[in-house]
Structure 1
Amino acid sequence: MPDPYFFGYGSLVNLTTHDFPDPRPARLKGWRRGWRHTDLRQVAFLTATPDPDCEIEGMIAHVPNDDWAALDAREWAYDRVPVTGAVSHDLTRPVDIAVYAVATEKQSLPSTRHPILLSYIDVVVQGYLRHFGEAGVERFFATTDGWEAPIINDRAAPRYPRHQVLKPSETALVDSHLAAVSATIETMA
């Protein structure tokens, strides 16, 4: 029986946000990322969206104790979608891989009422930098839609529950890429 694995493409790429076993870099073909909002959360977050012309990098990891319950609880606003054949990785044993994605009919674009948290972006970019280098960070920004959404600068009082402390060079890298995509960053009220 194949081992269950998940493909993470956002905060799950930052291994300091979890301790799921056997993490390793992977690529998911036919998908891209997008900033979206649902009625299930107050702020916007990343979701995977089908795109036959795109491929995204991320991390796969083993589902703890072969039980999806803990991971489903962490990713409660998403549906679990099987993607085994679309993921390239270095494992040699059989695995079943799923990605978490918000169903199209349950999502909407971020808004001033439902912005993106800068502390969340920081966590994601830090993970991509650690595992894929600066070129990986560039690919992350290029394969993610929704940068026109408002971003709240919550660095002084992070609202993202798994926020991380960034080095000044990491913060500068995030800020540089956000400027390159003409992101609008607002001060937290």
Structure 2
Amino acid sequence: MSGVWVFGYGSLVSPESFGHTLGRAFHRGVDFHPAVLRGYGRRWNYGVMSLVGRADEHDGSTREWTIVALGIAAADDEMTNGVIGWVGDDELPSLDARERNYDRVDVTDLTDVARPVEGRIVTYVPQRAPIEHYEAARDRGEAAVERRYWDLVDGAFAELGDGEQERYRRTTPPPDIPIVAMRRDSVPLRHRLREP
């Protein structure tokens, strides 16, 4: 079967989250392995353009948030821990849809894997538009990390293996925005690229 290894550094570190997108389970040590990506640093810099977060305020009102997720940025002196998961060619469109507004980039020569694997390794790097979306919302005081996502990623690294959670925490700069418990609502397509 042809396909690629996909390096995940955020929610894809959770085999359940990764597998949910593909409609199948991953098996640690078979098609899912710890890995490290050289030359990139993890950042809270991806402004989700297809969803908004809503949170209830103490006064009974509802506040809208731009949801911010993890991305990576080229950085010669940094390394990002994560995983690689095998994705068949027929499954790749589903993953590309999940990782919309990211570019799929070949990182085969920059990835160190816990055990030898054959084939190409790719990862998802945020495009400029979602980064600008995050920056604009941050500057307006309207950007936040979703608490559920925050907990999912942190928990996935805790389950990855000895020292992986500490390494994730140590190498990931803290977000410059709040972490908020919120619910998600879809944004109509016609509004996804609109900036106030």
Q: Same fold (TM over 0.5)?
A: yes
Q: Where does structure 1 lack aligned partners over 5 or more consecutive residues?
A: 161-189
Which position in structure 1 is the counterpart of 2:161? Answer: 132
Inter-partner Cα distance in structure 2 for 1:113 and 1:56? 28
**Contact 2:11/2:18, CA 8 A, preserved across alignment:** no
Inter-partner Cα distance in structure 1 for 2:47 and 2:113? 31
Structure 1 residue matching 2:120: 3-state secondary structure: strand
Q: Deviation per CA, 1:154-173, whole angstroms, max 9, x where unpaired?
A: 4xxx549xxxxxxxxxxxxx
1:153 aligns with 2:181: yes
Amino acid at match of 1:23: F
Ranked by relative contact order (alpha carbons within 8 Å, sequence separation 6 or more), the top structure is 2
Deviation at 1:73, TM superposition (A): 1.0
**Contact 2:2/2:88, CA 8 A, preserved across alignment:** no
**Contact 1:119/1:159, CA 8 A, preserved across alignment:** no
Which position in structure 2 is the counterpart of 1:34? Answer: 43
Q: RMSD between aligned alpha carbons?
A: 2.6
What TM-score do the two structures reach when normalised by structure 1? 0.72
Inter-partner Cα distance in structure 1 for 2:49 and 2:174? 19
Q: Which has the higher strand share?
A: 2
Which position in structure 2 is the counterpart of 1:141? Answer: 169
Please, which moves more after superposition, 105-114 or 139-148?
105-114
Structure 2 residue matching 1:107: 3-state secondary structure: helix
Which position in structure 1 is the counterpart of 2:193? Answer: none
Percent sequence identity is 28
Amino acid at match of 1:144: T
Cα distance change of structure 1 residues 74 and 105 upon mapping to structure 2, 3 Å threshold: closer
What TM-score do the two structures reach when normalised by structure 2? 0.70
Q: State the structure with more CA Rg.
A: 2
Which position in structure 2 is the counterpart of 1:87? Answer: 111
**Contact 1:4/1:66, CA 8 A, preserved across alignment:** no
Please, which moves more after superposition, 16-25 or 27-36?
16-25
Q: Where does structure 2 lack aligned partners over 5 or more consecutive residues?
A: 51-65, 186-196
**Contact 1:117/1:159, CA 8 A, preserved across alignment:** no
